[in-house]
Structure 1
Amino acid sequence: MSAVHVLAIITTKPGQRDALLELFNANVSAVLAEDGCIAYEATVDTANAGPMQTKFGPDTFVVIEKWASLAAHGAHAGSAHMKAHAASTRDMVADRVIHILSPT
């Protein structure tokens, strides 16, 4: 199977984004070490990007991921460190939307 791209749109409870990003960033090295992980990075709205930008807002960040396969992404989702991360951040998250995309 071909690589997949993942956009994880995470909206925190008001004022919690920075704290959640700190916990997210502490977990990045474990994710990047996973078999099949090509890229894994949190992003936020670019300041002063102009009128063409549609902002997510101050309580949202987007994780941009690339995985060698859908199976690799599935293993990531079930990994112990991701389960621990989800448990430690559960009370900070207001919403989470995951888009799994395939190259054309």
Structure 2
Amino acid sequence: MNTTMFGIPNCDTIKKAKKWLDAQDITFQFHDYRKQGIDKALVSQFCSELGWETVLNKRGTTYRQLTDEQKSTLDEKSAIELMVEMPAMIKRPILMVDNQLHIGFKPEQYSNIFS
């Protein structure tokens, strides 16, 4: 299986997901948004497959720092622009397993993906 995890390394959920994959001896690449960046094409792919409202992390401080006007006028196009500019607004982790995308981390969810 070809597996890539997308995120930022200091995220607690990323740490849990990495620990789970390591414990299961699952080899994966880690794509660090801060070091490797992310482009509009990839964010657009995430949004088209998973839904932009699912990909947008509304619980994080980056989202909460947006102006009320930015929040009230959000649509797919503006959300993608913001996520490219500020990747911390992308919900984590996003996992690509053999070109299929999964979002978030729960041990049961990962067990099903890799069963």
* TM-score (norm. length: structure 1): 0.29
Higher strand share: 1
* TM-score (norm. length: structure 2): 0.27
Higher helix share: 2
